[in-house]
């Protein structure tokens, strides 16, 4: 067990060094900040038309950010980040070298998975921080909108956490796709296809069983008046990603490199 | 008894229905530079991938350091450094960072990075991005990566592939140095005998998934010395051929007025000349030719070998 742990710690630090000078880290920071900045501009210029003055502006502010993130931007971000990081390994012909090292074969998959999960987590934290920072900044530059008069620390953090958990399956699926397929275009193409399929089928009554809808459902839970931290779609996402992760590890352990 | 670092027994590998290796027996002696030779598509890369556990054999057995590879993969790989085809390099990182990635993964001491940079003579360029490296430098960095865990055995797949003559010479010196100064056993593959014949101590030639020759390089030279031919120019090839065949010699037409005859040694040329002249065939040219190692290699690895294989005791005609 201790040995497995040391393989993972070493693997994580090696993987972290590999993304140096790539877009991966920047993408993880800039993607959430770009969503927040666009919404900031909308509220800065049109806030008085969107909000009833005197009422709490935070639900609409956070909800707008959550919705666009959960429906479209997060699935696309996950598609890009996994394709980018795994694609760098394909481009460097790195897999054969990794699998010929004296490391358990499962760790090759898990090391990369954990690093990219770390990037997604970093991105989510940046999103929460950006959301608060931009909200309070609106309170300063547009005091009439009333951002400084209300505070929603817990509900906003819960909202972001739901999206993170609700998107884990999409992350794992995209990770696995870009792990197996050499072509970056293939991974990105499939990611876009699956995301667009959700947008087209969004009105279908069973769409809730479609994995790429889970981030959006998790985001919408923010609006519900009485809701627990977990909604069913988040459980689906969590369970599905664990199963897929185990399949990936098993696949990696028996993988042959031609 | 000689110590073998790698032994394969009846190693077989099939990809789908295609049989790539048809029972390969190899023995790589400790301390050797072992050349693994064969034309493209003969199964060299497949063999190397099998030796590194990247592929699972369809049949047969691989022993590395006397241990069965499949059951002792991690333990065996700890003593093996490998360069598989094009080296796996992260081009957006410097050479030192590339080594650092592999060092972290394997949990090796920090100062080893400088040591291997020194060995492959890349210390001065260690902080340049690999995308600005020449092919020869990339290849040397690939060797540095293989050397990082200070392995006893190096497995190198076509380390001279794509290098220019000076790059090939540098690589040759590096390999000899690693073998003699650092005591590494080196297994390297190539499709060009001329590239490695000056470097290797032992070699095997594989052809269509089977071993066509295995032994020390001197043994191959012995085989080559015995493979002598005489090329004769005559006025009447038909008659000359009949005369020679009647005397139990193997003959082949070369086109024009030339015939090629297998002989044991140079002194036979006089007797042969006399024989032809006595039978009324005028000889206008006579050339004694020894098969070079390269020709020998080619004759072993041609898709349809013409007359007999090298192992047959009778004189050979190509």
**Same domain assignment for residues B180 and B259:** no
Nearest CA in chain B to A94: B88
**Same domain assignment for residues B86 and B164:** yes
Mutation target vs A (from B80, B104, B145; most A CBs, 10 A cutoff)? B104
Does residue B312 belong to any structural domain of this protein? no
Q: Please state the domain count of chain B.
A: 2
**Same domain assignment for residues B19 and B162:** yes
**Same domain assignment for residues B142 and B237:** no
**Which uninterrupted H or E stretch holds B81?**
strand B80-83
Task: Kindly report the nearest CA distance between residue A254 and chain B, in angstroms.
Answer: 10
Instruction: Tell me which residue of B205, B228, B225 sits closest to B215, measured CA to CA.
Output: B205
Answer yes or no: are the C-beta atoms of B234 and B279 closer than 8 Å: no
**Which uninterrupted H or E stretch holds B12?**
strand B4-15
What ipTM was reported for this prediction?
0.89
**Same domain assignment for residues B273 and B185:** no
**Same domain assignment for residues B253 and B268:** yes
Does residue B308 belong to any structural domain of this protein? no
Choose the closest CB to A20 out of B53, B97, B105.
B97
> Inter-chain contact A102–B97, Cβ cutoff 8 Å?
no
**Same domain assignment for residues B35 and B182:** yes
Block residue for tokens 């069913």: A232
Q: How would you write the pLDDT of chain A (258 residues) with one tens digit per residue?
A: 668 888 899 999 999 999 999 999 999 999 999 999 999 999 999 988 898 888 899 999 999 999 999 999 999 999 999 999 999 999 999 999 999 999 999 999 999 999 999 999 999 999 999 999 999 999 999 999 989 999 999 999 999 999 999 999 999 999 999 999 999 999 999 999 999 999 999 899 999 999 999 999 999 998 887 668 888 999 999 999 999 999 999 999 999 887
> Inter-chain contact B102–A96, Cβ cutoff 8 Å?
no
Does residue B203 belong to any structural domain of this protein? yes
**Same domain assignment for residues B60 and B138:** yes
**CATH value at residue B197:** 3.40.50.300
| pLDDT tens profile B271-286 | 888 888 888 888 888 8
Q: Report the distance separating Cα B254 and Cα B252, nearest Å.
A: 6
DSSP state letter for B163: -
Answer yes or no: are the C-beta atoms of B30 and B42 closer than 8 Å: no
**Same domain assignment for residues B249 and B213:** no
**Same domain assignment for residues B211 and B242:** no
**CATH value at residue B254:** 3.30.70.270
Question: Is the minimum CB–CB distance between B70 and chain A shorter than 8 Å?
Answer: no
Cβ-Cβ pairs closer than 8 A, A with B, add up to 84
Choose the closest CB to B86 out of A17, A93, A104.
A93
């Amino acid at each position: 067990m201790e040995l497995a742990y040391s393989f993972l710690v070493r693997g994580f630090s090696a993987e972290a060094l590999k993304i140096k000078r790539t877009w991966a880290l920047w993408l993880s920071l800039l993607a959430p900040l770009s969503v927040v900045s666009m919404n900031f501009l909308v509220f800065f210029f049109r806030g008085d038309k969107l909000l009833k003055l005197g009422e709490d502006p935070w639900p609409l502010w956070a909800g707008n950010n959550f919705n666009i993130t959960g429906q479209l931007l997060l699935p696309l971000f996950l598609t890009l980040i996994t394709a980018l990081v795994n694609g760098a390994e394909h481009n460097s012909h790195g897999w054969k070298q990794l699998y010929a090292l004296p490391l358990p074969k499962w760790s090759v998959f898990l090391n990369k998975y954990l690093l990219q999960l770390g990037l997604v987590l970093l991105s989510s934290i940046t999103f929460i921080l950006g959301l608060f920072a931009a909200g309070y900044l609106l309170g300063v530059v547009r005091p009439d909108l009333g951002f400084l008069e209300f505070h929603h620390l817990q509900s906003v953090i819960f909202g972001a956490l739901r999206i993170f958990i609700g998107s884990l399956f999409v992350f794992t699926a995209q990770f696995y796709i870009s792990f197996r397929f050499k072509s970056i275009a293939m991974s990105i193409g499939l990611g876009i296809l699956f995301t667009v399929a959700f947008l087209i089928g969004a009105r279908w009554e069973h769409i809730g069983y479609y994995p790429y809808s889970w981030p959006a459902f998790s985001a919408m839970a923010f609006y519900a008046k009485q809701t627990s931290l977990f909604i069913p779609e988040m459980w689906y996402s969590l369970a599905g990603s664990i199963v897929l992760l185990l399949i990936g590890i098993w696949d990696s352990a028996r993988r042959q490199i031609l | 008894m000689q110590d073998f670092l790698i032994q394969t027994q009846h190693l077989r590998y099939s990809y789908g229905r295609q049989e790539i290796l048809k029972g390969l027996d190899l023995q790589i002696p400790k301390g050797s530079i072992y050349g693994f030779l064969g034309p493209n598509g003969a199964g060299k890369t497949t063999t190397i991938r099998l030796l590194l556990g990247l592929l699972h054999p369809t049949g047969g057995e691989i022993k590395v350091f006397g241990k069965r590879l499949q059951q002792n993969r991690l333990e065996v790989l700890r003593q093996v450094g490998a360069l598989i085809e094009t080296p796996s390099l992260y081009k957006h990182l410097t050479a030192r960072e590339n080594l650092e990635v592999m060092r972290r993964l394997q949990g090796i001491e920090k100062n080893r990075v400088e040591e291997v940079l020194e060995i492959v003579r890349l210390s001065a360029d260690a902080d340049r991005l690999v995308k600005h490296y020449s092919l020869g430098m990339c290849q040397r960095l690939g060797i540095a990566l293989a050397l990082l865990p200070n392995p006893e055995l190096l497995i190198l797949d076509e380390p001279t592939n794509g290098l220019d003559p000076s790059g090939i010479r540098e690589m040759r010196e590096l390999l000899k140095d690693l073998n003699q100064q650092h005591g590494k056993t080196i297994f390297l593959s190539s499709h060009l005998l001329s590239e490695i014949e000056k470097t290797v101590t032992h070699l095997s030639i594989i052809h269509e998934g089977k071993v066509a020759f295995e032994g020390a390089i001197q043994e191959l030279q012995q085989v080559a010395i015995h493979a002598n031919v005489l090329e004769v120019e005559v006025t009447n090839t038909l008659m000359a051929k009949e005369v020679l065949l009647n005397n139990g010699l193997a003959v082949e037409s070369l086109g024009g007025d030339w015939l090629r005859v297998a002989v044991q040694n140079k002194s036979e040329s006089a007797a042969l000349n006399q024989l032809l002249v006595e039978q009324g065939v005028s000889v206008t040219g006579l050339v004694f030719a020894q098969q070079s190692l390269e020709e020998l290699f080619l004759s072993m690895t041609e898709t349809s070998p013409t007359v007999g294989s090298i192992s047959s005791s009778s004189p050979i005609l190509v």
